[in-house]
A and B are shown apart, each in its own frame.
Chain A
């Protein structure tokens, strides 16, 4: 088994855009000559401005889209090889940006079972996985409801349950917490970290929340279809100017610490979380008062 579960080699993808008059619009490729290797067991966060190509990158990972230039290997299979689509989907599961695009059944539990069924999992095992996954996202009580009649956040939870039930080696989540309440957001981040740490599942998390990206092992930043930063959260969030220049930001606690530093309160560099920020303030206060 290759060490890399996902590999992009000089990958380019452009949507063919047509204007009203039918003429093509000369648009830049959504993904432009990207090379990228994601190792088994990694937890990678992907950031980038609206339209930077994140969802396109995600869809290239499990053969929903196939590259026009270069190649993508997922779980060792070339995504351009149509005979391997099932193997690829067995390796890489995906939660779409809009949960409505993911709903396939008229009952919540059938919707969650759809993925594992397609992978040929045994019925008894499916039953178990569906119940577990719905419980994990707090939607077990809604298992007999119609998915399209749920609230925004409830739909998002069901979509996440769907990918959990598939138990693929790698999961790609496209903004899975965008519609969740604060507790839901924490719970989903906990689930993601558990899948990654305890089951060794590779996680690719696309997000606009810098505070979520901080929890990943590696952060990738996209801009206009290219990767412009790639490193640990500490490395990436140290590049404040680059991030702001591309429409992103640093985590809230980091921005707050910056303000305090500018006010002359002596805080160390590299603060990313609320806890780190409180620690540093308490330390500076103790130091100033003894």
Chain B
């Protein structure tokens, strides 16, 4: 059974005003327990609106959201359950940092869950270490952090809750390259160790290609495509029309094919690209590769 499911989910902003927007339109998706779902889509396509329904932060205008087969809006208790089971990290970390110190911010979730003091401390230290937040920053005010440090604090706060479903909205925006690798590596590890489910919203086609087991593409408030990473990125022309793209390595291979080189264009990660070129150069007589 799927862990999260929406049926005909619709969300409007500014209802019955001049500025009414249907941000999410009639979306039905199922997310399987343990999968790594990538969500891509142009600016304003409805990604953030959609995922804020998964833990009950936004309420559907029509349609339903189910966690473990139960409508999350069934009762007060079920909404509360969704808040703890589904951890959501906002697109702008400023929206979720409000405590006096970074330490208190990260411990806010675990505290609300009613965990013991020493367990809270263990989780805070662990989460801070994983996102690469230096010890001395924990006593600072979150508002006095740099952009990337805020991002790390916000991610640590969600991770510390050890939710069954981890939803990350552009978690690598503003992170330096090492931070990006650290955080994504940790998310991958977390999923493998706990069997947790991950939903990653990202404008990085490369990260989605590398990490996701399945992806959905949003376009103008609706789901335009859903499938494996290979299925999605084999439709490069359509993605371009929607303001998206294919991973950079795929562009290199499309370029090579355009020049008549006998290479596959179904290359979405650097590993696949490396393999494909080794094959090519081994076949070519006297190629440099041995």
Binding site for B on A (CB under 8 A): 15, 17, 19-20, 25, 27, 48-51, 55, 97-98, 100, 144-146, 149-154, 157, 174-175, 178-185, 208, 210-211, 247-249, 252-253, 255-256, 259-260, 263-266, 274-275, 277-278, 281-282, 284-285, 288-289
Contact = CB atoms under 8 A, between A and B. Distances in A.
Interface stretch (B42-50, B69-77, B80-88, B109-117): B42-50
Contact of B48 (A151, A247, A263, A277): A151
Contacts of B177: 208, 210, 247-249
A50 B203 contact: no
A285 B42 CA distance: 37
B176 interface: yes
A175 B174 CA distance: 7
B281 A274 contact: no
Q: How large is the interface on B (under 10, 10 to 19, 20 to 34, 35 or more residues)?
A: 35 or more
Given A152-B91, A249-B178, A284-B281, 16 more contacts: A20-B100, A20-B139, A51-B146, A51-B148, A98-B94, A145-B19, A149-B14, A152-B48, A175-B174, A178-B170, A183-B244, A278-B259, A282-B256, A282-B259, A285-B284, A289-B284
Interface of B: 13-14, 19, 41-44, 48, 91-92, 94, 100-101, 136, 139-140, 144-149, 151-152, 170, 173-180, 203, 205-206, 240, 243-245, 248-249, 251-252, 255-256, 259, 261, 270, 273-274, 277-278, 280-281, 284-290
Contact of B174 (A19, A208, A255): A208
Q: Which of A20, A55, A175 has the most CB of B within 10 A?
A: A20
Given A154-B43, A208-B176, A288 B148 contact: no
Nearest to B100: A20
Given A180-B203, A247-B177, A263 B259 contact: no
Contacts of A274: 248, 251-252, 255
13 contacts: A17-B140, A19-B140, A20-B139, A50-B146, A51-B145, A178-B174, A182-B243, A184-B43, A211-B248, A256-B249, A263-B289, A282-B256, A282-B259
B92 A98 contact: yes
B240 to A, nearest CB: 8
Contact of A179 (B14, B91, B270): B91
Nearest to A289: B284
A247 B176 contact: yes
A97 B147 contact: yes
Contacts of A266: 288
Contacts of A253: 248, 252
A189 to B, nearest CB: 13
A48 B46 CA distance: 32
Given A253-B252, A265-B289, A50 B175 contact: yes
Contact of A281 (B14, B91, B277, B290): B277
Contact of A247 (B178, B252, B270): B178
Contacts of B175: 50, 208
Contacts of A179: 43, 91, 170, 173, 203
A117 B25 CA distance: 39
A275 B43 contact: no
Q: Which of B41, B146, B179, B273 has the most CB of A within 10 A?
A: B146
